[in-house]
């Protein structure tokens, strides 16, 4: 009988700390998983759907858990649940966690995913984008999980139009925020108003995508058939039952292509992703001793 997933026991190196001690990516995953489980607990308690998304969805399909060299978790939710989700986190999160979002604090950087759930007391980290996307709230230096809103979209033409608008605004945003260290509050308010307008307008559209407030290259292939994403379904992730997209294989094949998907070699499932690309993408620095 074929096993259902790849088994990869490789120890992927994260780097060395200030004392020269070698740390491994698995250590990050052990810190991040409790945040994911807390998000799951709060969402189940308040009946709010969520989905492990993007690289985390690929981890479910290939490994029934983390991609062994992945240093973060992506979680998606329906934009219509944003207010309920924030209210649930503010009410029910355990004291060792904190949530950040623009709807809570206008200093929140809109070039980040829609909200973050952070660990307040664990090891600390510095994000790769800490200079280009300054953290003005700075509620915690702990590890975190990003959560991004999914919105409806009628067609590729409209999607591209909204992405282009966001890219034009990105120039002004970066000049104010990064170059002149000025929080672009008026621009942020307009961006969020537009996000809400289009999310409500297209809430029943045949496609869904990550909010077009984030006009990054991966967004071009982020227009997904609604039935591929909804309704979210339960899968096994690191021994826990957590939610992800409805057609997880279809999503992974569409979003990552064949290079991302496991292959059967006649005896076992193998990962064909190039070994030279198996590295940390999000962490600039870390400290597992500091709390």
Q: Is 178 inside any structural domain? A: no
Residue 1 is predicted with a pLDDT of 58
Q: Is 277 inside any structural domain? A: yes
C-alpha atoms less than 13 angstroms from C-alpha of 101 in its C-beta half-sphere? 20
Retrieve residue 69's tokens. Answer: 């060299």
Residue 283 is predicted with a pLDDT of 84
Q: Is 125 inside any structural domain? A: yes
Residue 291 is predicted with a pLDDT of 63
Spatial neighbors of 163 by CB under 8 A, at least 6 apart, are: 212, 215, 219, 220
Give the mean pLDDT per block of 10 residues along the chain (291 residues): 84 87 94 97 98 96 96 95 98 97 96 95 86 88 95 95 92 90 95 96 96 77 92 97 97 90 91 87 83 63
Is 137 in contact with 107 (CB distance < 8 Å)? yes
Q: Is 204 inside any structural domain? A: no
Q: What is the CATH number of the domain that holds 44?
A: 3.30.460
Q: How far is CA 75 from CA 69, 174, 250, in A?
A: 18, 25, 18
Q: What is the pTM of this model?
A: 0.95
Residue 27 is predicted with a pLDDT of 94
Q: Which domain holds residue 28?
A: 13-151+227-284
Taking each helix axis from N to C end, the angle separating 185-201 and 156-174, rounded to the nearest 10 degrees, works out to 170
Q: Is 156 inside any structural domain? A: no
Residue 280 is predicted with a pLDDT of 77
Q: Is 94 inside any structural domain? A: yes
Q: Is 209 inside any structural domain? A: no
- Gap between the Cα atoms of 53 and 60, Å rounded: 9
Question: What's the total number of domains in the chain?
Answer: 1
Residue 218 is predicted with a pLDDT of 66
Per DSSP, the residues of 159-217 read HHHHHHHHHHHHHHHHIIIIIS----HHHHHHHHHHHHHHHHHTTT-SEEEE-TTS--G
Q: Is 163 exposed, middle or buried (0-12, 13-18, 19+ CB in 10 A)?
A: buried
Cis peptide before 274 (omega within 30 of 0): no
Residue 284 is predicted with a pLDDT of 84
Residue 217 is predicted with a pLDDT of 64
Q: Is 216 inside any structural domain? A: no
């Amino acid at each position: 009988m074929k096993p259902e997933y790849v088994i990869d026991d490789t120890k992927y190196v994260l780097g060395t700390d200030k004392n020269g001690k070698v740390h491994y990516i698995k250590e990050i995953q052990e810190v991040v998983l409790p945040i994911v489980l807390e998000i799951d607990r709060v969402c189940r308690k308040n009946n709010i759907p969520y989905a492990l998304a993007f690289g985390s969805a690929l981890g479910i399909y290939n490994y029934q858990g983390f991609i062994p060299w992945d240093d973060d978790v992506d979680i998606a939710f329906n934009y219509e649940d944003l207010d309920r989700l924030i209210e649930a986190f503010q009410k029910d999160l355990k004291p060792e966690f904190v949530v950040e979002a623009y709807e809570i604090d206008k200093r929140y950087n809109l070039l980040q995913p829609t909200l973050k759930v952070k660990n307040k007391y664990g090891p600390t980290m510095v994000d790769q984008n800490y200079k280009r996307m300054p953290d003005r709230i700075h509620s915690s230096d702990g590890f975190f999980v990003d959560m991004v809103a999914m919105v409806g979209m009628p067609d590729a033409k409209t999607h591209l139009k909204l992405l282009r608008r966001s890219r034009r605004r990105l120039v002004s945003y970066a000049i104010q925020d990064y170059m002149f260290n000025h929080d672009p509050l008026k621009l942020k308010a307009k961006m969020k108003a537009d996000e809400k307008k289009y999310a409500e307008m297209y809430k029943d559209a045949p496609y869904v995508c990550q909010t077009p407030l984030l006009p990054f290259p991966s967004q071009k292939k982020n227009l997904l058939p609604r039935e591929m994403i909804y309704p979210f379904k339960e899968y096994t992730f690191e021994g826990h039952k957590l939610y992800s997209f409805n057609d997880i294989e279809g999503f992974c094949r569409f979003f990552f292509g064949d290079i991302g998907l496991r292959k059967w070699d006649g005896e076992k499932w193998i990962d064909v992703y190039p070994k030279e690309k198996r590295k940390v993408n999000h962490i600039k620095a870390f400290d597992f001793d500091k709390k």
